Structure 1
Amino acid sequence: MKQEQADVIVVGGGLGGCAAALAVAKMGLRVIMTEETDWIGGQLTSQAVPPDEHQWIEKFGCTKTYREFRNRIRAYYKNNYPLTDQAKKDPFLNPGNGWVSRLSHEPKVALRVLQDMLAPYINSNQVMIHLNSKLMEAEMSNDKVASINIQQQSLSQEIIKLTAPYFVDATECGELLPLTNTEYVTGAEAKQETGEPHALDQPNPSDIQAITYVLAVEYVENGDFVIPKPAQYDFWKTFIPTYSDKPLLSWYAVNSADITSLKEFTLLPNSKKIADLFTYRRAIDTRHLAKNLYEGDISLINWPQNDYFLGSIIDVSEKERQRHLGNAKQLSLSLLYWLQTEAPRYGGGRGYPELRLATTALGTEDGLAKYPYIRESRRIKAVYTITERDVSKDFITENERCTFEDSVGVGSYHLDMHHTTVTNRTFYIPSKPYEIPLGALLPVRLKNLLPACKNIGTTQITNSCYRLHPTEWNIGESVGYLIAYAIDNDISPHQVRVEKNHLSAYQQLLINNGVEIHWPADLE
């Protein structure tokens, strides 16, 4: 068995993992990062979801490195794409003009930018990345992770033993937690446990938010690109979810402004101002281009219609996990087939055969993302658990804001919980700009394992706002600096929080490196 050693092992190459690796490397330590797919970047790349962000993102509310990432995305288009003069001059260029994001862009561009940001540390051997690597097992000693084994998903199937003083779980589903016997929760907690008014009366660990297999499509005028009929199309065509009287494959979905009603959608912009879904997560708007680089606009299809909630992929057998992943893929392909053949067209007629599966956009043969979009992970039982009362506007007065003495970052997003696998419930609750408490990053028992994405100490309800791109990045970056500070001062991460002088010094380290830990008082 091959063995490798570093100061920090980061398991998972998503946004939190990349941010953690960057922070650790900047502090002069060596990192080994593993990733299950062949793309780093998680939500932005292998899951194909452009950044969901808050309204202040262009001027405040993220770390300096996340802002650098955003600036590099725009610079990449301006330096490499044949843009119009207007697009080149636009300081707030939105490559896809998607209305869900101020920076809707292609996953491959995000991948390139992340690779460039890590390149100096990879080239100097401070960061080593193992792609296509599956986490296999972990060895424990006295409430600490001693080592983990990963297996290369290649012809060699080589197993590598990784050892380090610290381990970071940046996997999409918190895969390191059960292997290390870390205390964690899944699904829905009970009201009695969390004190949250929107929690269930009884806990249900299997009631987990929907996953989505995003697919990329290109709209080509007068084209005819109908795919073969998916094997499960007849099932999904007639499937009516419990929360609706309309088929899932329809132009109707739950209205986020009033979850008791349905809202009508359509595919393309129209005179009646019916919400058009093609532009929702459009990743490239060809009107920005001075040359015919693409045959049509490209959009990433992550809609209510392809949210898969018929079963969880967490803490189930591998056979059941693969069944649900296969079903989720079939749902997305069935949505595309429905769009191409049967979807009512605005103005009359049925079907949009002009939609072409953009197989090159996501680096896959089937045009689906390399990995499903994961909204909810296993979550550590933490020193402090963030609840609905910490962030919901229902519990914070108009002139107040969520603040924590041990804040290590900031973020903002609605409490946006997609339909769950058992109760099929959903929320879209207004929230206040929030902070990230250090206590939520510390497991109740383990000493050298830290979370770096959606696996922090939130409830199911608060996970739904702490799960978004800039917050995940902030969590990972703050964890990276926490480990570096703990190593440099020969103390534990838990001591950093308890001992006020160390907490203050660690927070100053964050501030010095561009991590905003409090919202400004005069935020409009």
Structure 2
Amino acid sequence: MKNKLILSLFLILVSLNIFSQQKAEILSTDVMIVGGGASGTMAGIQAARMGVSVLIVEETPWLGGMLTSAGVSAADGNYRLRSGLWYEFMEKLFTHYGDADSVKTGWVSNVLFEPHVGEAILSNMTKAETNLSVFRNTRLIDIQKIDEGWEAVINQGIEKIVVNARIVIDATEMGDVAKRAGIPYDIGMDARSDTGEDIAPEKANDIIQDLTYVAILKDYGDTVDVTIPRPYNYDPSPFYCTCAGKCDEDSLGTKLWDCDFMMEYGKLPNGYYMINWPIYGNDYYVNALEMSTHERDSVFQKAKDFTLNYIYYLQHELGYKNLGIANDVFPTDDGLPLIPYHRESRRIKGLVRYTVNDMARPFEQNNALYRTGIAVGDYPVDHHRQRYPDAHLLPELHFYPVPSYNLPLGVMIPKGTKDMVVAEKSISVSNIVNGTTRLQPVCLLIGQASGVLAALSVQLETTPEKVSVRSVQNQLLKHEAYLMPYSDIKPEHAVFNALQRIGATGILRGEGKNIGWENHTHIYPDSIVTRKALQEGLSDWLPVNNLNFNTEEVSFSELLKLIDVLDKTYNPQYQNLSLKVWYKKSTAILKKHNLQVPTKKECVSRATFALLLDELLNPFELRQVDHTGKFMDDLCESRF
């Protein structure tokens, strides 16, 4: 009798399980994006605009990640690099607040905004895309590789949904999908011998950057005291040196700002203050990358408690009693952000790894990764490590000088794993490089590029690593994104796209500059083309010793002769045109763009040369490149 009862129960459970499986909803999509943060949201918008079906799965009720849900609503960098979806988002902020000057409310950034405003803008951008669906409050439970793509299981409340996706993008804050998919990755600081970076530590370690549980405070008026209750185990000592007055700058070896000036750091529009202060403020050290969800929740609560201690310190010790936790920004019971601000993630092992050497000296490396650029940035290498217990033993990485830079396509493509793209902070860069690529505008642009790559993979019926570099770059240019990080020419310039393409061939090279806190790369569009510039840029195209010009400044006729030689060398449909015909064709191109036509003896600007080279020969397409930036043609010897 007992055995029959057990058997009956077993059969009932089996039938219930079969029934539940039959009831589970099954969805299919071309692209599934896990994580609706900065990268994930832009990836979804971009891929949907290219005509493929897209699903974004986001754990929280908000889109935007660090920009919104984490409260870091002060965009760092890229103010002059107004690329693609980053610029579209920025323009919508300008429209909302009135103009560009209206978002210059604090001194940490030129673009500051209220988190809920940013989230509303991103939500509206996603709603405008008919090919895009967004599942909020939804968690990834499992993911498995199948023949054509991936099968994922997600939970939306108590409902289980199975999603079949052709391409998956990991846009999570900590690279959790990459781990589930078995993609190899690095955590912490790389060894100098591994990356070749002189400023890296001698030995690798698992130390990551501090995270921050940001707070948004609101000015409730001078007559109101909104000091929070004294936190349990309140300890003011970590904050004594947060601003001038209690600590000696010389002894600390760091600048201490006046307290009022420090509070203006993250001042947002409409009387709000972002509390994300790096100098003895609310940064908090914990490495939660390999922790379980429960363990993460526990340590993130400690980070939140640390921020509450800091808020109480600001109110009680420094007198900012009128600044209290905003009650009208986040949809949370305590008024604090939905998630902490993660500065560092797992970093996948991709087709290429981008190091600070590639960033600082792009034209001196064995691999010409700059030729494969898909996203740009200009913020310094900024590492937050002060809260690590032995921070004084770590290398000094603060604001290591780099020019503005571009990220190579291969950093988003995991080595050895098909049908997946990785975005946000989990791309294949060194730990040092992460100190700048982690910032909001760069992650937005990484997201846009990952959306392009995923959409092309679907449309071409291939895997991401097989999509040509130039195909991705052409789509990005079509959608008004930068390939090269030039800060001295704007997208509305008639020659902008031509300079982007010619720059990505290496024929014309920019010059990196550090100007105060700002990092630039100048292409000098109005400067004259010189013999030296051509010898440098054409070193991988022609025997430069044979580049004979009459003077250092190259004439128009000499450039036309050079174009003819390049055409003869690399164009299968060599035209064998006379100099007179080349001049006629060039004149038509310049007039079409309302540009001045030089005489044959006149010198020519770099912008004019780039435009003519681009439209007459299109060297960007003539020589395809692989993910390392190497030209893929097999021409061993020029006929120059």
Instruction: Tell me how far apart the structure 2 counterparts of residues 180 and 390 of structure 1 sit (CA, whole Å).
Output: 28
Match of 1:301 among 275, 283, 295: 275
Tell me if 1:189 matches 2:190.
yes
2:460 matched residue in structure 1: 489
2:530 matched residue in structure 1: none
Instruction: Tell me how far apart the structure 1 counterparts of residues 258 and 336 of structure 2 sit (CA, whole Å).
Output: 22
1:313 matched residue in structure 2: 288
Match of 1:472 among 425, 443, 462: 443
1:284 matched residue in structure 2: 269
Conserved? CA contact 1:208–1:422, under 8 Å: no
Conserved? CA contact 2:215–2:337, under 8 Å: yes
Conserved? CA contact 2:376–2:483, under 8 Å: yes
Name the Cα RMSD after superposition.
Answer: 2.6
Per-residue Cα deviation, 1:386-438 (whole angstroms, up to 9, x for no partner): 1121223xx5799xxx9612111221110001117464345221211111101
- Structure 1 regions of 5+ residues with no counterpart? 79-90, 240-245, 269-275, 286-296, 344-350, 497-501
Conserved? CA contact 1:212–1:374, under 8 Å: yes
Instruction: Tell me how far apart the structure 2 counterparts of residues 432 and 308 of structure 1 sit (CA, whole Å).
Output: 27
Tell me if 1:131 matches 2:142.
no
Instruction: Tell me how far apart the structure 2 counterparts of residues 363 and 15 of structure 1 sit (CA, whole Å).
Output: 19
Match of 1:432 among 378, 383, 403: 403
Alignment of 1:44-193 (within 5 A): 44-54=67-77, 57-58=79-80, 61-78=81-98, 91-95=99-103, 97-121=105-129, 124=130, 126-141=131-146, 146-152=150-156, 154=157, 157-193=158-194
2:485 matched residue in structure 1: 519
Residues 382 and 259 of structure 1: CA distance in aligned 2, closer, same or farther (over 3 Å): farther
Residues 397 and 193 of structure 1: CA distance in aligned 2, closer, same or farther (over 3 Å): closer
- Residue 319 (structure 1) shift: 4.3
1:83 matched residue in structure 2: none
1:352 matched residue in structure 2: 320
- Residue 341 (structure 1) shift: 0.9
The alignment's TM-score, normalised by the length of structure 2, stands at: 0.67
SS of the residue corresponding to residue 137 of structure 1 reads: strand
Determine what percentage of the aligned residue pairs are the same residue: 29
Q: Which has the higher contact order (CA 8 A, sep 6+)?
A: 1
Tell me if 1:233 matches 2:237.
no
SS of the residue corresponding to residue 154 of structure 2 reads: strand
Q: Higher mean Cα deviation, 308-317 or 66-75?
A: 308-317
Match of 1:340 among 315, 319, 323: 315
Conserved? CA contact 2:355–2:433, under 8 Å: yes
Paired amino acid for 1:209: Q
Alignment of 1:25-40 (within 5 A): 25-40=48-63
Per-residue Cα deviation, 1:365-395 (whole angstroms, up to 9, x for no partner): 2121111011001111011111121223xx5
Conserved? CA contact 1:310–1:324, under 8 Å: no
The alignment's TM-score, normalised by the length of structure 1, stands at: 0.81
Instruction: Tell me how far apart the structure 2 counterparts of residues 165 and 255 of structure 1 sit (CA, whole Å).
Output: 58
Residues 310 and 64 of structure 1: CA distance in aligned 2, closer, same or farther (over 3 Å): closer
Instruction: Tell me how far apart the structure 2 counterparts of residues 373 and 517 of structure 1 sit (CA, whole Å).
Output: 28
Conserved? CA contact 1:216–1:298, under 8 Å: yes
Per-residue Cα deviation, 1:114-165 (whole angstroms, up to 9, x for no partner): 11211122xx3x21111111222211247x852122222x4xx222221111
Per-residue Cα deviation, 1:41-83 (whole angstroms, up to 9, x for no partner): 11111011124333x624xx242322121111111123xxxxx
Paired amino acid for 1:68: E
2:425 matched residue in structure 1: 454
Q: Higher mean Cα deviation, 434-443 or 353-362?
A: 353-362
Per-residue Cα deviation, 1:441-464 (whole angstroms, up to 9, x for no partner): 111111111112111111111011
SS of the residue corresponding to residue 399 of structure 2 reads: strand
